[in-house]
Structure formats: structure tokens, C-alpha cells
Chain A
Amino acid sequence: EPEVTQTPSHQVTQMGQEVILRCVPISNHLYFYWYRQILGQKVEFLVSFYNNEISEKSEIFDDQFSVERPDGSNFTLKIRSTKLEDSAMYFCASTLAGTFDEQFFGPGTRLTVL
């Protein structure tokens, strides 16, 4: 069964460093998402991406964050200058049809900012 994959599974970085979290969505999917979950808190929407552009972003998704689909398979989340409060589990999701379809989630990347 096709699945969303994410790398790395765990990333440790120093405050102020740039990190890139990578996702490979299901191959024929067209809509892509990033969510995050700070330990003990809700899963929160960060950004949605369709047709090579951001379709919606949350207040969390400030200028430190960016997303890219550099090729036909990868979908990346970049945090330019990490802060302690960026420590969280980051989930990538994808869906084929957007509104009337379920989102398939990856296993997540645990980001630890020291």
C-alpha cells in the first residue's frame, strides 16, 4: 500500500541553525500539508500546498518557514533559523482530491532544538 514517508525520523539541531525536513508524498497525490505537534499539545496545521504554491498557511507559518516541491516527488519544510519553541513532531500529509478526500500522514520527524 502506498504511504507517505518522512526523513529524518529525528533531527537534533542548535538554536539558530537551518533545518530541512523532507517528505515524499504518495505519488499521484496533488495536495500536500505540513502539521506539527508540540509535546503534550494538539496537532496544528502549518501550511497547505497545491499546484506549486502555498494555498493556505497558519499564523505559526511565519517568515522563518518555507515549503518547496523541488522535484516531482519530494516536499520539504525549511526552518531558516530554529528557535527552542520549534521543537515538535512535524507531520507531512498528502491527499489526491483535496476537499473530499482523507489525508494520508507520514510517520513524522521529531525536531529537537537545543
Chain B
Amino acid sequence: AQSVSQHNHHVILSEAASLELGCNYSYGGTVNLFWYVQYPGQHLQLLLKYFSGDPLVKGIKGFEAEFIKSKFSFNLRKPSVQWSDTAEYFCAVALNTGFQKLVFGTGTRLLVSP
């Protein structure tokens, strides 16, 4: 069965620090990859997605992610975080077929201190 691992459950950074959140998945077929963010009190919002093409994808708010097929990874990065990036971040994977059921990682809670 598909599974998604996020290795960092809680991350605390100071403003302007760089961020990298790890995401690995276990599935050998073609997948679509997503990062969702949930700000306090808000619903899940899409940060970025990868379906095909350039493995380095750029999303909203300065986030980017790199798909490394050989490592089954889709790590999220941001060069300089802001206090407003405090949120929970979820990596999700879907099979590139069918009705695209999302399989989520456990989430990473990011706290950015001003």
C-alpha cells in the first residue's frame, strides 16, 4: 500500500532561516505529489504540486519542492521563512490514475519565531 513519511514532526525556526521539510513516499508507479499547508484555524490549502516535467516546482509564498524519483522524495524548501509561515505542512501523494485519492503524511508543525 502507498505510504508517505514526513520525518520532521515539529520544526522551530527563527525568521529568515532556511527551511527544508522532508517527504518520502513508497510507491513504484507514477504518482502526483502535493504539499498542502494548514494555517491556524484555516483549511488545507495547496502550496504546490508536481505532475510531470521539471522536477523543481515553485509554489505560492516562495515555497518550492524538488521531486527526486530515485529517492522517492519530494522535499519542500523555502530560503527564508517568515513568522506568517507558522502552520502545519502536509505532503500528499496520489496515483496518477483513477480518482486521485490522496495519501497524506503525518504533517510537520512549523513554528517560526519573530
Contacts and interface: CB of A to CB of B under 8 A. Distances in A.
Interface of A: 4, 31, 33, 35, 41-45, 48, 50, 55-56, 58, 91, 93, 95, 98-108
Interface stretch (B15-23, B67-75, B79-87, B102-110): B102-110
Contacts of B34: 102
Contacts of B99: 31, 48, 50, 55-56, 98-99
Contacts of B51: 100
- Interface size class on chain B is 20 to 34
B109 to A, nearest CB: 11
B85 to A, nearest CB: 19
Contacts of A41: 106
Contacts of B103: 45
A55 B98 contact: yes
29 contacts: A33-B101, A33-B102, A42-B104, A42-B105, A42-B106, A43-B90, A43-B92, A43-B107, A45-B102, A48-B99, A48-B100, A48-B101, A50-B99, A55-B98, A56-B99, A56-B101, A91-B43, A91-B44, A95-B100, A98-B98, A98-B99, A99-B94, A99-B98, A102-B46, A103-B102, A105-B36, A105-B44, A106-B43, A107-B43
